[in-house]
Amino acid sequence: MNFFLETLKVVGLSVVYYLEAFFRLFVPARRKSVEGEVVLMTGAGSGLGRIMALEFARLGARLVLWDIDEAGNLETARLVKETHGARAHTYTCDCSSREEVYKVADRVKREVGDITILVNNAGIVTGKKFLQSPDSHIEKTMEVNSMAHFWTCKAFLPAMIAANHGHVVSIASSAGLIGVSGLADYCASKFAAVGFAESMALEMLAIGCDGVKTTIVCPFFINTGMFDGANTNILPVKLGVLLGEYLGAFDFMAKFKGHGKKSN
C-alpha cells in the first residue's frame, strides 16, 4: 500500500475508532457476571480497593481481601457485611514481600479455595522528584506496584489455567502509559505493571487459554487521597494500535542486524 492510501486508511479508521469509543460511552459492552466468582482484592483496605470490594459483593462475588493495613481491611469487610450482608475473608499481607505473598496465598487456598478473579490493586506513590526520592521508597514502589503482580499471578494463575476459567485484573494507571514529571518511580512501576499484564494476556492467547481473561485498568487521578487534580485525554486503544502500526512500531526490528556480534 502506498503512503497516500496508508494515510487515508489511518485517517478513516481514526474517525471510526473515535466514533466507536464515543458510542461506547452511551452503550457499554455487555458486562460479564461475577456472581459466585471468588475475588481476591489486594489493597482492599481503602480507596479503590474498598469501593471495588463493595461493588463485587453487590454483584454476588465471594471476597478475599488483602491489605498490609489490618484495620482498614477489617473495616472494608465490615462495610461489605453491613451493606450487602456478605462475608469477606480478610488476610493481612505485605504484597511487597514475595515470601509473604506465597505464604498467605497458600493459606487462602487451604481456607477458601481457588481464586477465580485476581485484582492486583495495592499501590503506593512516593510523590517526590526522582533525585529526592529515597532509594528504599523507589524499591518499595517497584515491589508493591509491579513485582507483587508477579508473585500473585504465580500463586493463583495456574489453577485458573487448569480450569480454563478466571480473570486477572491489573489496576495500573495512566502513569503507566505516559511519563509524568515528579512520578518517575511510580511511572516506571506502572509501565512495568502494564507490560507484565499485556504479556500475560498474550501468553494466555499463545497457550490457547481463552477462558482466562485479563483487564488492565489505567485510571487518571481519582480523589482517594493518593492524588489530587490534573486532567488529560487518552486515545482509544484501537487508535493507539493503528497509529503504532502507521509509525512502524510493530515491525521496526524486522530488518535488525545490530553489530553482527554474538552475545556470548
Q: Applying CB under 6 A, which residues contact ligand NAD?
A: 42-43, 45-49, 67-69, 72, 93-96, 121-124, 144, 171, 173, 219, 221-222, 224-227
Cell 528504599 belongs to which residue?
136
Residue whose CB is less far from ligand NAD, 208 or 225: 225
DSSP, collapsed to helix, strand or coil, labels residue 62 as: strand
Residue whose CB is less far from ligand NAD, 45 or 166: 45
Grid coordinates given for 117: 478473579
Residues 6+ apart with CB under 8 A from 12: none
Which residues are catalytically annotated? Answer: 186
Grid coordinates given for 28: 457499554
DSSP state, residue 32: P
Residue whose CB is less far from ligand NAD, 219 or 240: 219
Grid coordinates given for 47: 480507596
Q: Could you tell me the smallest distance in angstroms from the CB atom of residue 140 to ligand NAD?
A: 7
Residue whose CB is less far from ligand NAD, 17 or 156: 156
Cα separation of 183 and 185, whole Å?
Answer: 6
Question: Roughly what angle, to the nearest 10 degrees, separates helices 135-142 and 184-206?
Answer: 20
What residues are paired with 117 via a beta bridge? 39, 167
Residue whose CB is less far from ligand NAD, 42 or 214: 42
The answer to whether 144 and 122 have CB atoms below 8 angstroms apart is: yes
Q: Could you tell me the smallest distance in angstroms from the CB atom of residue 107 to ligand NAD?
A: 15
Residue whose CB is less far from ligand NAD, 219 or 236: 219
The answer to whether 123 and 130 have CB atoms below 8 angstroms apart is: no
Q: Could you tell me the smallest distance in angstroms from the CB atom of residue 259 to ligand NAD?
A: 40
What Cα–Cα distance (Å) separates residue 57 from each residue in 52, 64, 157?
A: 8, 11, 22
The answer to whether 123 and 96 have CB atoms below 8 angstroms apart is: no
DSSP per-residue codes, 91-145: EE--TT-HHHHHHHHHHHHHHT---SEEEE-------S-GGGS-HHHHHHHHIII
Q: Could you tell me the smallest distance in angstroms from the CB atom of residue 138 to ligand NAD?
A: 14
Q: Could you tell me the smallest distance in angstroms from the CB atom of residue 251 to ligand NAD?
A: 32
Cα separation of 64 and 69, whole Å?
Answer: 14
